[in-house]
Structure 1
């Protein structure tokens, strides 16, 4: 009988890549969030056949393209079929997010830091509402 290789859940700990204390202050918290997510999934979720779900965590926190590519390489080699990006400090562009169009994905984020990183959503909102601002970014109607 052929053994079926069930897909695993990949966990991607994404972090603010700014150095000089920013990234360094968040590394442990972010990796602990990834480990807690894996523990919760392993404890609570099963495959349809009843088998326990396996999780694969990226080797390092992801702050840029090189780390994201290394994570993708690991996940590809370990039959990861779905990913969860976890982060206690957002916002991030496409260089840190799972961009595989064939893989279902989720993002679990909580901005519990003193460094909210609101520049990215502000610029996105400004691009989405060009008629609402003339040199000034208007985030509210």
Structure 2
């Protein structure tokens, strides 16, 4: 049986990175958003052969440059071909947004 390594959709849960109660109060909500959108995509989007679309969620919320880089590395290793950033709050854009000019993205 032939297996196809289709490109996946990366989900980036971005968050206000300020500690001291701000970030901590949003962690669970933000990761929940990422899990729900991944499920929505998997349930409703399919590749041309009918295979459900696969999603890859960043391992942690992204509140700064280091976490953004970690997500980018994971996505590169897992054949991510497009990314969606989700957030329930304001974020430092230049620290959290995917800056790869070649990657299709949405927020």
> Equivalents in 2 of 1:35, 1:44: separation in Å?
14
Tell me the secondary structure at the aligned position of residue 95 of structure 2: coil
- Structure number with greater Rg is 1
Would you say the 8 A contact 2:12–2:71 is kept in 1? yes
> Equivalents in 1 of 2:51, 2:71: separation in Å?
25
- Coordinate RMSD, CA, aligned: 1.3
Higher relative contact order (CA 8 A, sep 6+): 2
> Equivalents in 1 of 2:55, 2:89: separation in Å?
22
**Superposed, which structure 2 residues align to 1:77-92 within 5 Å?**
77-92=77-92
Aligned to 2:44: 44
User: 1:28-51, CA deviations, whole angstroms, 9 ceiling, x for partnerless residues?
Assistant: 000000000001000011112221
Provide structure 2 residue ranges, at least 5 long, that are not aligned to the other structure. Answer: none
Shift of 1:91: 3.6
> Equivalents in 2 of 1:80, 1:25: separation in Å?
29
> Equivalents in 2 of 1:78, 1:88: separation in Å?
26
Aligned to 1:76: 76
Instruction: Work out whether 1:25 is the aligned partner of 2:42.
Output: no
**Superposed, which structure 2 residues align to 1:38-117 within 5 Å?**
38-107=38-107
Shift of 1:92: 2.9
Task: Give TM-score scaled by structure 2 length.
Answer: 0.94
